Structure 1
Amino acid sequence: MSLKRAERLLPVVQMAEREEQDAARALARSQEQLRQGEVKLGELQRYRHDYQQQWLQQGSQGVSGQWLMNYQRFLSQLEVAIGQQQRSIDWLRENQQRARDLWQQKHVRLEGLRKLVQRYRDEARQAEDRREQRLLDELAQRLNQRDTP
């Protein structure tokens, strides 16, 4: 009886496995997107640093008012880009956490279903063992009854 219950659950387990695998792939994608976003932020920050170093070098030699205005305008645009990228990373981190939470839920569900199937199989095996033992006991009893006068 329990073995049939276990077999009936196999399609549910397979569906749960697919859902868990899909969630794992989504988690991997979100991790990669976050990694790429962090790389881009790092590049923007390095570019800002390099641009500021250029200002220090150029500024020590004297600069025109036009150069200074262009520098400030570009630096301002760079700061905006860095801020936007930081907000993007914050969103990507939240997205990654949601993907991780979903994967964990799917994983826990899958493991629970696997344990349930295993329990049903164990129960079926134990029931079969008990049935075989009863048959052996009955056979031994019959043989014993035939041998005694």
Structure 2
Amino acid sequence: MTASRAARLGPVIEMAERAERDAARMLGQGQAQLTQAQSKLGDLEQYFGDYQQQWISEGSRGVSGQWLMNYQRFLSQLESAIAQQRRSVGWHSDNLDKLRAQWQQRHARLEGLRKLVERYLQEARVAADKREQRLLDEFSQRLAGRVKND
């Protein structure tokens, strides 16, 4: 009886395994997206630093008003891009946390189902062992009864 309960859970476990694999795949994709967003942020910050160095070197030689206005406009756009990319990194980080929680939930469900199946199988083994022992006991009693009668 309990072995058939374990067998009936087979399709449920397969579905749980698929769901856990899908969640793991999504978690991997989320991690890759976060890494990519962090890399882009690093590139923008590096570019910002390089551009500031250009200001120091150009500024020491003297610059025109037009160059200064273009520099300030570009720097403002770059700061805006950096702020936007920081928000993107934050979003990807939050999303990764959600994906990790989803994977953990699905993994825990799968492990719980596997433990339940193992318990059902163990119960089936115990029941089968008891049946076998009962049959052996009956056989021994019959055999002993025949030996006595002979």
Residue in structure 2 matched with residue 23 of structure 1 by the alignment = 23
C-alpha deviation, 1:148, in angstroms: 1.9
C-alpha deviation, 1:73, in angstroms: 0.5
CA distance in 2, matches of 1:141, 1:44: 87
Structure 2 residue 53 is matched with structure 1 residue 53: yes
Residue identity in the other structure for 2:8 = R
Q: Which runs of 4+ in 1 moved over 2 A?
A: none
TM-score between both structures, scaled by the size of structure 2? 0.98
CA distance in 2, matches of 1:52, 1:144: 101
Residue identity in the other structure for 1:63 = V
Residue identity in the other structure for 2:9 = L
TM-score between both structures, scaled by the size of structure 1? 0.99
1:62-141 to 2 correspondence within 5 Å?
Answer: 62-141=62-141
User: Identity percentage over the alignment?
Assistant: 62
Instruction: Give the number of equivalent residue pairs.
Output: 149
C-alpha deviation, 1:114, in angstroms: 0.5
- SS of equivalent to 1:148: helix
Residue in structure 1 matched with residue 148 of structure 2 by the alignment = 148
- Structure 2: which 5+ runs fail to align? none
C-alpha deviation, 1:147, in angstroms: 1.3
Residue identity in the other structure for 2:147 = D
Residue identity in the other structure for 1:33 = Q
> What root-mean-square deviation, in Å, do the aligned CA atoms of Structure 1 and Structure 2 show?
0.6
Residue in structure 1 matched with residue 38 of structure 2 by the alignment = 38
Residue identity in the other structure for 1:43 = D
CA distance in 2, matches of 1:84, 1:39: 14
